[in-house]
């Protein structure tokens, strides 16, 4: 049964409003995407009714014969797709998945080396306000004046501080991550390298970003973003670390997995293994580069001067316009982005200098490089001239010509 006015009018109306919003707006938040109807169906399937604490063949509840097959299928697809020995598909999301890495391989008070949040890292890589920064000793590396990861600084800090774990990856890194260089540094200082590829997992399996496999013994990824799956996470590792990872996830951090999400992950991984997914990944990067190039032509400063991935970080410092008012103006114009700190930002995190945008969702809707020129021009019109109303109409017209998967026609 679908949710209608006869079942729950209030929630039904809210869902319809969100459907209309997603259909009519230009979604440029790089961590958002559209899932396929098949992923959406699995997420809302009868597996919502199950409880399956434990692992396949070792459950604490009876009646999980089919659930076991679903989880095994998801894990097998993950190991094949990423080329790893072991996959745990149970983490609820990226943050608890990262926490499982700490639980498996570190003790409270151990030193952790991660990218600083203002430089593009993630809260769970040892930042102060996160539990990972309160329970562990977080040391941070950053970027150089060119906006790229300062690998010399990473090595110097690693050799001086001897961290237990080094995290590479983050949430606002527009350039290719050199996993091989991070792996050499980790070996030199005796640390475990953990790669957080949440943002770029789809680019990795699509062959447009190097893989951390062979360099990072432990890999965490969320299953949405560029991978176009449900809101979940996976931990990938070599055989030697499989038992520690599994114990950290269950019983270390969580109880029963969300079996409907596991099924949706399996569907998404099956889709990502198809040849057309590589075409999608290439288009994501091509679109991001085209969008970045046009923004540069229009006079905007971009962190690192452009992008190699799906993500662009606009630095508005020299414009005198804050990232927050810019993002809110874009939202009113139907262009959904997020305000974000930029490296060496002098403004506060809740009122930073940057706007973060990306191309996964618009590429899923079939937009191409020519459309990126139009989008960049819209961004410029909104930020520089405040032309919100007319841009909103033009955005809605373009979106109507490119229906989104999983949304009502």
Q: Which residues are catalytic?
A: 51, 53, 196, 222, 225, 231
Q: How far is CA 391 from CA 27, 95, 380, in A?
A: 14, 36, 10
Count Cβ neighbours within 10 Å for each residue of 371-397 and write b for 16 or more, e otherwise. Answer: bbebbbbbbbbbbeeebbeebbebbee
Known binding residue 122? Answer is yes
3-state secondary structure of 174: coil
Asked whether 120 and 343 are in contact (CB, 8 A), the reply is yes
Asked whether 282 and 289 are in contact (CB, 8 A), the reply is no
Asked whether 231 and 261 are in contact (CB, 8 A), the reply is yes
Known binding residue 302? Answer is no
Q: How far apart are CA 367 and CA 376, in angstroms?
A: 13
Asked whether 101 and 220 are in contact (CB, 8 A), the reply is yes
Give the H/E segment covering residue 66: helix 65-82
Cβ neighbours of residue 403 under 8 Å, at least 6 residues apart?
23, 365, 409
For 136, the token pair is 């562990």
Would you call 36 exposed, middle or buried from its count of C-beta atoms within 10 A (0-12, 13-18, 19+)?
middle
Supply the DSSP symbol for 85. Answer: S
Taking CA 396 as the corner, what is the angle to CA 393 and CA 401, rounded to the nearest 5 degrees?
Answer: 135
User: What is the pairing mode between strands 354-358 and 311-315?
Assistant: antiparallel
Sheet holding 311-315, edge to edge: 301-302, 311-315, 354-358, 338-340
Asked whether 66 and 49 are in contact (CB, 8 A), the reply is no
Q: The dihedral of CA 359, 360, 364, 369: what is its sign?
A: positive
Which residues does the annotation place in the binding site for (6S)-5,6,7,8-tetrahydrofolate? 117, 121-123
Annotated binding-site members: 117, 121-123
């Amino acid at each position: 049964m679908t949710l209608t006015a006869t079942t729950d009018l209030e929630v039904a109306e809210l869902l319809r409003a969100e459907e209309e919003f997603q259909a009519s707006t230009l979604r440029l938040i790089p961590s958002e995407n559209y899932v396929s109807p098949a992923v959406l169906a699995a997420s809302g399937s009868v597996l919502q009714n199950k409880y399956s604490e434990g692992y396949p063949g070792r459950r604490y509840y009876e009646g999980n014969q089919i659930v076991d097959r679903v989880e095994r299928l998801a894990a097998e697809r993950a190991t094949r797709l990423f080329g790893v020995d072991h996959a745990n598909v149970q983490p609820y999301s990226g943050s608890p998945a990262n926490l499982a890495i700490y639980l498996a391989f570190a003790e409270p008070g151990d030193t952790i080396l991660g990218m600083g949040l203002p430089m593009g890292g993630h809260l769970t890589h040892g930042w102060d306000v996160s539990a990972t920064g309160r329970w562990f000793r977080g040391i941070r590396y950053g970027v150089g004046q060119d906006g790229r990861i300062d690998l010399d600084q990473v090595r110097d800090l690693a050799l001086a501080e001897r961290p237990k774990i080094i995290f590479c990856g983050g949430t606002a890194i527009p350039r290719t991550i050199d996993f091989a260089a991070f792996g050499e540094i980790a070996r030199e200082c005796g640390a475990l390298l953990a790669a957080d590829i949440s943002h770029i997992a789809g680019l990795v399996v699509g062959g447009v970003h190097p893989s951390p496999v062979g360099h990072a013994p432990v890999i965490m990824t969320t299953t949405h973003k560029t991978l176009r799956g449900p809101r979940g996470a996976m931990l990938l590792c070599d055989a030697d670390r499989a038992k520690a990872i599994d114990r950290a996830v269950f019983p270390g951090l969580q109880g029963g997995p969300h079996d409907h999400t596991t099924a949706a992950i399996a569907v998404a991984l099956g889709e990502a293994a198809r040849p057309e997914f590589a075409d999608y990944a290439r288009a994501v990067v091509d679109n991001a580069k085209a969008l970045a190039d046009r923004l540069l032509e229009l006079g905007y400063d971009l962190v690192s001067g452009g992008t190699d991935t799906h993500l662009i970080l606009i630095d508005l410092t020299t414009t005198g316009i804050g990232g927050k008012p810019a993002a809110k103006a874009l939202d009113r114009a139907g262009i959904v982005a997020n305000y974000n700190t930029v490296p060496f930002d002098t403004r506060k995190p809740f009122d930073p200098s940057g706007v973060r945008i990306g191309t996964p969702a618009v590429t899923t809707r079939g937009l191409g490089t020519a459309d990126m020129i139009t989008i960049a021009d819209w961004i410029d019109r909104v930020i520089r001239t405040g032309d919100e109303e007319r841009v909103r109409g033009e955005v809605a017209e373009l979106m109507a010509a490119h229906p989104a998967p999983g949304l009502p026609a």
